[in-house]
Amino acid sequence: MSVISAVVTSDKIVLTEGTFNEDGTVTLIKDETFDLEEGDRQLAYVVMHRRLADRLGKGIEQVVLKASAGGQYAAKTAVLHSAELRGVFLSAVPGGVSVKQLQKNNLSRNFGSRKVDAYLKDDDFFSEKFAGASLRKGSREAAFLLLAARD
């Protein structure tokens, strides 16, 4: 069984799928992006939900999602759209699949000695910790969630 991690923005969801190895590394199975369709958002959410439900219903043991972070300022439209799409994602997770939501600021305090952004820029870190399918640089944050979920 594998684990899928996800980072949701206002118009796409980046997914990485992997399995944990005994040596603390992750074998990547897949790195993919689901783009929200153009046009009416409500209809695009319906399509996205269907795609996600199909994808997440195939041998997945756990889902790790980058949680929303509350800000001190009024939310802009993109932040609200991200929250809506995050809700679509969560509603598409099949029953029986565990869901873990991790906030980036908590990861910076609790994972290793550096902030998350420092890890995301470190090519050597990703070469040492991940094997298997190739990982796009834009998917590193989602892949990092896989490591963080293990701890």
Residue 20 belongs to some domain of the structure: yes
Give pLDDT tens digits for 92-137. 999 999 999 998 888 877 787 888 899 999 999 999 999 998 999 9
What residues make up the domain containing 57?
2-145
Residue 19 belongs to some domain of the structure: yes
Residue 150 belongs to some domain of the structure: no
Quickly list DSSP for the chain: -EEEEEEE-SSEEEEEEEEE-TTS-EEEEEEEEEEPPSS-HHHHHHHHHHHHHHHHTSSEEEEEEEPP---SSPPPHHHHHHHHHHHHHHHHSPTT-EEEEE-HHHHHHHSSSS-HHHHHT-HHHHHHHEEES---GGGHHHHHHHHHHH-
Residue 24 belongs to some domain of the structure: yes
What is the pTM (predicted TM-score) of this model? 0.90
Give pLDDT tens digits for 7-23. 999 999 999 999 999 99
Q: Read off the CATH number of the domain in which 58 is found.
A: 3.30.420.10
Give pLDDT tens digits for 32-83. 999 999 999 999 999 999 999 999 998 899 999 999 876 656 668 888 899 9
Number of domains observed in the structure of the chain: 1
Residue 60 belongs to some domain of the structure: yes
Residue 101 belongs to some domain of the structure: yes
